[in-house]
Amino acid sequence: MSARRTTTRRTPATGPRPRRPVRDDARNTAYDVIRAVDERDAYANLLMPRLLRERGLTGRDAALATELAYGTLRGLGTYDAVIEVCTDRAPDPDVRDALRLGTHQLLRMRVPPHAAVGTTVDLVRARIGQGPAKFVNAVLRKIAARTADEWIAVVAQDDPVGRLSVAHSHPRWIVGAFRDALGGDDAETSALLEADNARPLVTLVARPGRSSVGELAESGAAPGRYSPYAAYLPEGDPGQVRAVADYRAAVQDEGSQLVALALARVPLEGPDGRWLDMCAGPGGKAGLLDAIAAYGDPAEGFPGGVHLLAAELQYHRARLVWQTTREAVVVTADSTEPPWRPGVFDRVMLDAPCTGLGALRRRPEARWRRDPASLPELTRLQRRLLAAALDAVRPGGVVAYVTCSPHLAETGLVVDDVLREHADVERLDARAYLPEVADLGDGPDVQLWPHRHGTDAMFLALLRRRR
């Protein structure tokens, strides 16, 4: 993984490679995770818990290893820019990863500089060799001479997007997309990027009729800010919460809960017995819609007794939907060539495949893996799926078009384009169905934001087919 492309040259290690790792389990584990992400595209949030378990790291050691690895992976856009001005040659990837780890400790953690440099040099000596250890020592000493803010002033580019990109360690194209979606406001873009660099709260959903926020509170969770089904778990493994293990509750961002809730809240004339989730895997929104549809919720005026059909293209993801829902019928299907008749559903959820730029805070390395080249194909698919959703809904019924991305090309522009071909569709003011949430933008669509709402950056448009 590379925040910028570099040519690499092998630095020969002097002397034999020591085989015994130094006894700094947290730093070694963090380094192993960073290397695995860099070398073989591993997912940090899957690998880290496995290594912690295998190595018996718990408590403060586990927390330190996690902060070292995740913080380094998030920050490497900034760190690479600093390392570049402190080196006269591009380091080998294994050395570069160690430099990133040391730089993170120097610039963003409260590790005393001598410890940040010393532990990194020890690690490099043990894992790579004496020559690279000397090199790392010299580079980290240069980096230690300035604070993070001083370095950012040195390496930041002149234009606003370039400056924000380096200062907040996000790829330039993503900063540009966020800034566009925020109307060109640099201060707000900066706040968003900062929120993206913070670890999100673990949010649970209590599926109505199957669990309750009260039950989750008994496991130490606190009620959510907006969604009546949300609870924040301050610590501990959500998998240990009984309701989560039983699929009566689940881990789910509050933004995902809100968009499902908004769809269920739109008043309908006529029947309201058939709902469709067109892109259901792995089943987060389907799990909540399934419970609302089947069991209802008197507090919200949801009557229950509704049938949900959940469709998903990929079989293994459809199996996850089947596992997490209780009443829904789950099918493996291509929703652009659907096996259902047109005009039969009262409510349709289209949570479209997208770049996922709205959930970058969830995976430390995700921002470096997203590729703007995927956009044209994704936006074509989004248009086809939205057209299919409008075919599937009955006159008077409602479609929720949702993305976990605020990129304008995937949100408002897709809806604008498809509606040009559908004169019989009305775009509702989606904000009206989430009255408990402030700052939802100019409408009619809803855009949630990590820095404003503490949720993922979910987009929602609500579209009603005229009768």
Whole-number minimum distance, CB 379 to ligand SAM, in Å? 13
Cα(462)–Cα(8) distance, rounded to whole angstroms? 50
Among 353, 397, 412, 454, binds ligand SAM (CB under 6 A): 353
284 binds ligand SAM (CB under 6 A): yes
209 binds ligand SAM (CB under 6 A): no
Residue 112: count of CB within 10 angstroms of its CB: 12
Residue 223: count of CB within 10 angstroms of its CB: 15
462 φ/ψ angles, rounded to the nearest 5 degrees:
-115, 125
What radius of gyration, in Å, describes the C-alpha atoms of the chain? 24
Peptide bond into 450 cis (omega under 30): no
Nearer to ligand SAM, 82 or 259 (CB): 259
Whole-number minimum distance, CB 318 to ligand SAM, in Å? 9
- Cα distances (angstroms) measured from residue 131 to each of 17, 42, 84, 151: 11, 28, 19, 26
Of the listed pieces 20-28, 72-80, 277-285, 296-304, which binds ligand SAM according to CB under 6 A?
277-285
Nearer to ligand SAM, 93 or 282 (CB): 282
- The DSSP secondary-structure symbol of 302 reads B
Of the listed pieces 2-10, 81-89, 333-341, 437-445, which binds ligand SAM according to CB under 6 A?
333-341
Nearer to ligand SAM, 18 or 282 (CB): 282
314 binds ligand SAM (CB under 6 A): yes
- Which amino acids are annotated catalytic? 404
Among 281, 296, 358, 441, binds ligand SAM (CB under 6 A): 281
Cα(392)–Cα(165) distance, rounded to whole angstroms? 42
Distant-in-sequence, close-in-space partners of 6: CB < 8 Å, separation ≥ 6: 84, 90, 96
Please choose, from the candidates 147, 192, 146, the residue with its C-alpha nearest in 3D space to the C-alpha of residue 168.
Answer: 192
Cα(368)–Cα(276) distance, rounded to whole angstroms? 34
Nearer to ligand SAM, 121 or 308 (CB): 308
317 binds ligand SAM (CB under 6 A): yes
Cα(280)–Cα(297) distance, rounded to whole angstroms? 22
Residues 111-150, one symbol each (x = binds ligand SAM by CB under 6 A, - = not), give ----------------------------------------
Among 194, 334, 371, 424, binds ligand SAM (CB under 6 A): 334
Residue numbers in the known binding site for S-adenosyl-L-methionine are 279-285, 334, 351
